[in-house]
Structure 1
Amino acid sequence: MVYTRKNVSTLTPTERRRFVNALLTVKRRGEYDEFVRTHIEYYTPDGEQGLRAAHMAPSFLPWHRKFLLELERALRRVDASVTVPYWDWTRDRTARSVPWTADLLGGNGRASDRQVMTGPFAYGAGHWPVKVNVTDGHFLTRDLGRARSPIQLPTAAELEGALSDPVYDVAPWDSTVGRGFRNKLEGWGAGRGSVSWRNHNRVHRWVGGLMVGGASVNDPVFWLHHAFVDLQWTRWRRRHPGARYLPAEPPGAGDAQHDRVVARHERMPPWDVTPHELEDLSDVYRYE
């Protein structure tokens, strides 16, 4: 049976409570921290050697689609009514809007150390210790809007700039490409600082704290953000019905990207699944 992922702003109080409770249960069982470990392991920049599956590569979208689906399956083993909601950051754009409420994800971090003090994921509540991290911090941190150097969330017009590109991705299939839907959505741009952060990337920076870097999964907003990113891939495919995941074939032996990116029919680690098999999951879930 096909289930529905909803806009987080439309969730009822009961739906909010059940979603939060499922997350806390998965965390208590130790499953959640395995998701954090996986993301850290596959957070490979294109300046390093080896295969890039999760970031700075064409498989950014199918990798996170599968990752999101695995978390959702864990939640639904706890409560079959739960699905991962999406956060439309083109509409809910302030630190006082959803999902930053006490009954959902809690609010911003305090000024002194950016520790989140409100909501079910605050360290003081005792249910969300950060056990897997790239630093020695043990509590959830946020810096919504970057107080010392403010930035804004991406706009609908900026998102449209990605959706309107009819080509999925282009060579050299990395963070430097200026064309293609994938990188325009993932958000690696030219220059330094805030001007180089677009769409997906700028949202991570806007949230700040643990959402910046490989350990970003420690903040539950990661899933709401990536559900919205996943929705954009669905919308892009509807708008460009003849377009497909690229590259269709692996880069050849003489190519600098040989063995560094996942082609359409290649298996994508750490799962035994191809981007082709993940292009259409309309028989599994839909978006409201």
Structure 2
Amino acid sequence: MSVSVTFPRYDERQRAYVTWRPVEVKLAVTPAQVQPAQVTVSARSAAGGGRLLFADAVTHAGAASIDLDLPANGSAVSVWIGGAFPAASTRFGDVTIEVRDRTTNALQASHPTMVRVRKNADTLSTAERDRFLRAFAMLNGAASGRFMDFRDMHVGGPPDREAHGGAGFLPWHRIYLLDLERELQKIDGEVALPYWRFDRAAPNVFTRSFMGVPGPQDRVQFTTGNPLRAWVAGNLPGVERGPGVGPQTVPLVRSEQETLALGGAPSAQYAGFRIMQGNPHGRAHMAHISGVITDPATAPQDPLFFLLHCNVDRLWAKWQWAFKRHDPQAARAFDPSSTLPGHRLADKLWPWGGPLAAPRPTTAPGGGLTPSPLTAAPGVSPRIRDTIDYLGTIGQAQLGFAYDDVPFQTV
């Protein structure tokens, strides 16, 4: 007898991933047996690897193992498997699902996976950092790659009004980051977008081996082996960034604690929280003094932009978790008074919603949202309401990402 272990979705390399939010995995005996199979499902983790929890329903309160009786006729039984917060993976296969006979302890099946989450860029291992840099440089392709669509989404004029200045600022950038991350994962499935926590010094981020350091004429300097050395996204090769932030710099922005207090705890209304667009978000951009990252029309030309915005999204995610603001229909989870086109709960997000009628942009670089091997949500044309319950806390759909310091918790 053996047991099949089947995840709902796999990538092109037949790899399956999890975050903190459990996914439904099917187990079945194969071939059919005379007697049901009594098994225990658990996980084996490498040193420093991810850990898993198991349950018979979606919950954050799973266990390190679960006993199951698998029908003799080969019918599948569901088990919900998610990462055990905060033990994330560093590579694919550093945690393996094991199915063992409950009586003999004989191994009936094993299935490698990865607890893949977004991490603090300053704490990445060298291998994690280098995989991210390689994938990002490949996406850029020295100005010939798919990255150019992301540069062209975040520019001045009508596109700027889609992304900034209203209640849709955080939802728009959540999908923007998700689209880019999914493109990176098509290159390397082990990559997740890291964040720059800009209210603290980040000595491991601002090095020539990672995001670089400013040099003469604000030209960022990289090591010879850094893949970003071939970066091209603007009028000149390389990255233009001012000298305002270095390895020991702590920008003058709201701290994480101060940011999470926006919106008025304990009532915690999104309408108040979203002023974080100015501080800390805007101040983090301007902390660099000069360079493309200080101008919304050119900011994505600097790879650091995406680490900055990943932290902005993490702060929103942490605020949502702290105050249980995951229900798109709850007034405090968004801003129901918003009337700006593209900033209302039911609005399609440009450019993933395709060409729209003026005054919204009538061109749409990049097409629909990149699909994910982890989830079908939010589809190719997401709306603002699809961004709020990103972990599937209220509903069944999750967007396929999580943060290393923001757990999944059922309400």
TM-score range, shorter chain: 0.7 to 0.9
Partner of residue 241, structure 1: 324
8 Å CA contact 1:204, 1:212 repeated in 2:
yes
Partner of residue 252, structure 2: 153
**1:99–1:42: structure 2 CA closer, same or farther, 3 Å change rule?**
farther
Which amino acid counterpart does residue 116 of structure 1 have in structure 2?
A: V
Q: Which runs of 5+ in 1 are unaligned?
A: 46-51, 170-179, 188-197, 252-256
DSSP-derived class of the 2:117 partner = strand
Partner of residue 209, structure 1: 291
Partner of residue 115, structure 1: 219
Structure 1 stretch displaced more, 29-38 or 69-78: 29-38
Task: Supply the distance in 2 between the matched residues of 1:204 and 1:137 (Cα, whole angstroms).
Answer: 21
Task: Supply the distance in 1 between the matched residues of 2:333 and 2:313 (Cα, whole angstroms).
Answer: 15
Residue correspondences, number:
239
Which amino acid counterpart does residue 181 of structure 1 have in structure 2?
A: F
- 1:168 maps to 2:270: yes
Higher normalized helix content (fraction of residues) = 1
Partner of residue 198, structure 2: 89
Post-superposition offset of 1:244: 1.4
When normalised by structure 1's length, the TM-score is 0.75
- 1:171-218: CA deviation from partner (whole Å, max 9, x where unpaired): xxxxxxxxx1112x101xxxxxxxxxx210011111231101111111
Partner of residue 5, structure 1: 118
DSSP-derived class of the 1:152 partner = coil
Q: Which runs of 5+ in 2 are unaligned?
A: 1-17, 20-115, 326-331, 353-380, 392-397, 405-411
Q: State percent identity of aligned pairs.
A: 28
DSSP-derived class of the 1:18 partner = helix
Runs of 4+ in 1 over 4 A off after TM superposition: 41-45
Task: Supply the distance in 1 between the matched residues of 2:174 and 2:133 (Cα, whole angstroms).
Answer: 21
More RCO (CA 8 Å, sep 6+): 1
Task: Supply the distance in 2 between the matched residues of 1:181 and 1:234 (Cα, whole angstroms).
Answer: 12
Which amino acid counterpart does residue 270 of structure 2 have in structure 1?
A: Y
Find 1:105's aligned residue among 211, 225, 236. Answer: 211
Partner of residue 285, structure 1: 401
Partner of residue 28, structure 2: none
8 Å CA contact 2:345, 2:385 repeated in 1:
yes
- 1:218 maps to 2:318: no
Higher normalized strand content (fraction of residues) = 2
Within 5 A, what are the aligned runs for 1:1-288?
1-2=18-19, 3-28=116-141, 29-40=144-155, 52-92=161-201, 97-110=203-216, 113-119=217-223, 120=226, 125=229, 127-130=230-233, 133=234, 136-145=235-244, 152-156=251-255, 158-162=258-262, 164=264, 166-169=268-271, 180-183=272-275, 185-187=276-278, 198-207=279-288, 208-213=290-295, 214-242=297-325, 243-247=332-336, 251=339, 257=340, 260-271=341-352, 272-282=381-391, 283=398, 284-288=400-404
Task: Supply the distance in 2 between the matched residues of 1:106 and 1:89 (Cα, whole angstroms).
Answer: 16
Q: Give the number of the structure whose alpha-carbon radius of gyration is greater.
A: 2
Task: Supply the distance in 2 between the matched residues of 1:42 and 1:247 (Cα, whole angstroms).
Answer: 25
Post-superposition offset of 1:6: 0.7
